[in-house]
A and B are shown apart, each in its own frame.
Chain A
Amino acid sequence: MTSRLFRSLSNIFSVCFVLVSVATANANPEFKRITTIEENSAQWQQTLKAAKGQSVYFYAWGGSKAVNDYIRWATREIAQQYRVKLIHVKVTDPSEPVSRLKAENGRTSAIDLMWVNGENFAYLKQQEFLLGKLWSTIPNAAFLVVDSLPITVDFGEPMDGFEVPWGIGQFNLIAENGVFQQSQVSATSLLDIAKKNPNTVTYPRPPEFHGTTFLKQLLVNLTDADPHLYQSATQQAQDELLPVLWQYLDQLHPYLWQQGKAFPSSAAEQLLLYQQKVLSMTVSFNPNQWLKEKSTQQISESSVRRYFTDGAITNSHNLAVPKSAPSPDAAKVVINFMLSEKAQKEKFTGVWGDPSVITSLFYEKATMPAHPELHSSWHVLIEDAWQQRYGG
């Protein structure tokens, strides 16, 4: 009974959401049709010419073989097509390039291109470390799917041309079919599952990004996507909404892996635990990761993808160029290639499986029903309060 009520409520909300997003898109006509230069414009030809023979040092997380292999493929393509040398600097933490830019403080950077989103982007934008006008100076930016995907704003921070969407993250669970039988998960069903299968459900320890998003999904579900969650968090809204989440977690934690006395440090660690069949579920931001992991026999055949009934919290991961990059033209050429149909197709159909962000390749099926990010103020609030209640 209750779950049906939830579902109908959430359906109503989805409709509202579409309306809202269309409304916002209308309010910003700039994003409806992206104005940018043409491939054959003199300006772009100039950029291509300047890029020739340059090297692009690309700071990107190096923990995934799929991503690394994809970048290796792109490196070969870019070298052939543009005579630009793409070099993948594998980092373990997206904060490494941020810390470097801070240390460089405007001097010629070692970084030409970086993979960034969320608070790191907000910091870099605010510190004015990033090269602007990327959208209007890169031809393929014209094809970005801005009207169907929330890719103009990065965690509440408007991109404003300081970064370009590269791919899509959608929060989902990879789980054992036998344990997570329904295709959608709600807070209630998750608690049931945890009770029936104690010690096999968990989430990465916040403030790890996946862990915090897991809590956000629960909060959305528990408060029927209260509109206050999408606005700056007022004290009143906090007092009203957050206690529901804590009450729920108080119930859930005793049934979690290690009784909630320890959590995986990262989504990667949780996936390892899932692979080793210690857990019955893990979390992911790549909607197609479950298929890729299955095809390489990394996870069991009976693994399935599950998402929260309100839709998967969706955000983009993006490419940015430092203002002080030594080869900004070559970096733009690389971004342009990354947004090309060929590159976006390979990204989706190849080893990585990351959904495309350009119109010609945008399939509704490739993505799950999207749910917008909460207002960024909630992010920190949830993390701090979680630490206060469960972290010590």
Chain B
Amino acid sequence: MLEIINCQIEAKTWRITLPDIDVQKGELLVITGPSGIGKSTLLHWLLGNIPQHVAIKGQIILSGINITHLAIEQRRVGLLMQDVYLFPHLNVQDNICFALPKNPQLSSKKPPRSSKKQRRAAAMNMLEQINLEHLATRYPQNLSGGERSRVGLIRALANQPQVMLLDEPFAALDPSTREQMGAWAFQQLAEQNIPSVMVSHDVEDIPASAKQICLADYYQASEQK
């Protein structure tokens, strides 16, 4: 479960004070609001990427642990952006291998052959589950937009994240793919029981079951000096 407590975004001329939010396992929180209001800023703060133009205060509690001051790589958050940023020098299977957790079973300082094999098998297994095993040896630049999004999500899930962050994930897709992709993605996230936070300004992207928060509702202009 993800909890956001006492969160306040403060810029030069405005301030947003959010109510405390919690996102349950398998639940989806959608952050909406007009552009430039700080949706992505909030998301990147959750990720651990400190924004430079605004100040954000507050606490992030993930599965009971305060992760507010942890480095990005220690938070175990999944990230899916509009451009998926699959790593171009790795093929699909290797992209997923990269994301697999570095726990003792799956890796070691000097990986024995078996561990390497295990990881590859695990990645393949994930691809098979979504019927994309034929893409395993393809490179990202040879994938279609929809395929890229799917692989991106699988890659993020491969890391067994505690929370999933989606930044307008399907905005670049054509409408029919987007709808299909959205439904598929939310189903995956729900099945894996992961709390998710999505930024979107397209209302159609939002499934009915999602929680919504509109930043504009909490917007205050600061008093001029």
Q: Do chains A and B touch in the complex (CB under 8 A)?
A: no
User: A-contacting residues of B (Cβ < 8 Å)?
Assistant: none
User: B-contacting residues of A (Cβ < 8 Å)?
Assistant: none
